[in-house]
Amino acid sequence: MSDTPTVAVFRPDDDRLERAVDVLERLGAQPVPDPMLAVEATGTIPRTDADYVVFTSKTGAELVSEAGWEPGDEIVCAIGPATADALREEGYAVDLVPNEFTSSGLVAAVESRVDGARVEVARSDHGSPVLLEGLEEAGAYVHETILYRLVRPEESGRSAELAAEGGLDAACFTSSLTVEHFLEAAAQGGIREDALNGLADATVGAIGEPTAETAASLGIDVDVVPEEATFDALAHETVAAIPGQSG
């Protein structure tokens, strides 16, 4: 391993990627930015007859603002602090953020109060079924509005090439879809097995258990799953776990 470890990051090509690169550089790593997600907005907004509206991403917060969404008396829920901050930046009040920043954490935060309530879940087309199923099991009437679709950028794949060459020290996967798109890019380049072998020799971080489970199901061993599902925690713990690196 080199003194400056190479760490792949797959965040969308906006301020999230810029911040991720900055975090990794401050940790003494050489970021390999390789966006695996691009946003295609649908132009829709949440239904107006819900008792609760759940947002699961910064992107969703920005898109409903651009589309002119005006909440009424709904209880606005954000899956985590980044989503909550984005909603507030767009001028929306946030009523609830769970202690655990995951779909199951959000379900746990509201399950005692949503029996018989109408819950609108506004998110991407690749949202976890855990959220919808958990809310329905709690007795809620659940409706999902797809605010945007997540697609793989055509130019993605630089990190897969580096992994296949044995030049990647670590990777920070921030969703199941980033794992799937990484392997799609590798397969498109004819280097899927080599990229998997490269990851086997690298330190692999996953932002949460669902992402780790997806990686494992596709043959990727995950070394790090931070207790807090944020990129900062993921980056810190992944870099610290690289052989020869300290926290």
The CATH number of the structural domain formed by 40-150 is 3.40.50.10090
pLDDT at position 233:
96
Longest dimension (CA), the chain: 57
- Write out the E strands in the chain: 6-9, 30-33, 38-41, 52-55, 75-78, 118-124, 141-151, 170-173, 203-206
Tell me the pLDDT of the chain (247 aa) as tens digits: 448 999 999 998 988 899 999 999 999 999 999 999 998 999 999 998 999 999 999 999 999 999 999 999 999 999 999 999 999 999 999 999 999 888 889 999 999 999 999 999 999 998 889 999 999 999 999 999 999 998 999 899 999 999 999 999 999 999 999 999 999 999 999 999 999 999 999 999 999 998 999 999 999 999 999 999 899 999 999 999 999 875 4
The answer to whether domain 6-37+153-241 has CATH 3.30.70.920 is no
Domain range list for the chain: 6-37+153-241, 40-150
Give the span between the Cα atoms of 58 and 162, in whole angstroms: 29
Give tens-digit pLDDT for 152-191: 998 999 999 999 999 999 999 999 999 999 999 999 999 9
Asked if 6-37+153-241 and 40-150 have one fold, the answer is: yes
pLDDT at position 109:
95
pLDDT at position 85:
97
